[in-house]
């Protein structure tokens, strides 16, 4: 009987831990809401919004979701809260784990439709494995604002 009780407790702890881990993931709806919030701020404040979006402890971080911004013509990064060393560098030739030019796809979509989604494979910092990811993007002036989420 004691052995069964211990097993129930252990299984409960594993289930609780897996539930907590799952809660650290942002959903597609949360990623879209974060994008909409950032787009609204950039439309209202222009580049003055960038420090707020750049803040890795600020309001544009939700679970594993964040916003990054790059130039619509050159894919030069203007904002990235977790990779500030990328600011000023172009991602125009960046490809995913399968060789897909997903940044170029976002640039093309931003030019033709103004906004959209792109699917790609990217290394998940939690699992350290290439996983399926999607990103919502929207053009605001001469910039593209992006919010991605793991599936």
For residue 131, list its beta bridge partners.
Answer: 122
Mean pLDDT by 10 residues, the chain (151 residues): 38 35 81 98 98 97 97 98 97 97 98 98 94 98 98 94
User: How far is C-alpha 136 from the chain's CA centre?
Assistant: 8
| SS3 sequence of the chain | CHHHHHHHHHHHHHHHHHHHHHHCCCCHHHHHHHHHHHHHHHHHHHHHHHHHHHCCCCCCEECCEEEEEEECCCCEEEECCCCHHHCCCECCCCCCCCCCCHHHHHHHHHHHCCEEEEEEEEECCCCCCEEEEEEEEEEECCEEEEEEEEC
Q: Provide the pLDDT for residue 6.
A: 30
CATH class in words for 27-150: alpha beta
Domain ranges of the chain: 27-150
Q: Provide the pLDDT for residue 23.
A: 52
Q: Provide the pLDDT for residue 15.
A: 33
Q: Provide the pLDDT for residue 126.
A: 87
Q: Provide the pLDDT for residue 11.
A: 32
């Amino acid at each position: 009987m004691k052995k069964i009780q211990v097993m129930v407790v252990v299984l409960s702890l594993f289930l609780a831990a897996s539930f907590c881990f799952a809660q650290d993931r942002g959903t597609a709806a949360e990623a879209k809401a974060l994008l909409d919030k950032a787009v609204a701020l950039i439309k209202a404040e222009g580049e003055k919004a960038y420090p707020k979006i750049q803040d890795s402890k600020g309001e544009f971080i939700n679970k594993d979701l964040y916003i990054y911004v790059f130039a619509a013509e050159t894919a030069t990064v203007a904002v990235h809260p977790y990779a500030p060393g990328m600011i000023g560098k172009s991602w125009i030739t960046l490809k995913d784990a399968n060789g897909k030019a997903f940044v170029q796809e976002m640039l093309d979509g931003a030019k033709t439709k103004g906004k959209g989604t792109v699917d790609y494979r990217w290394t998940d910092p939690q699992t350290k494995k290439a996983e399926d990811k999607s990103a919502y993007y929207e053009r605001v002036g001469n910039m593209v604002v992006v919010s991605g989420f793991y599936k």
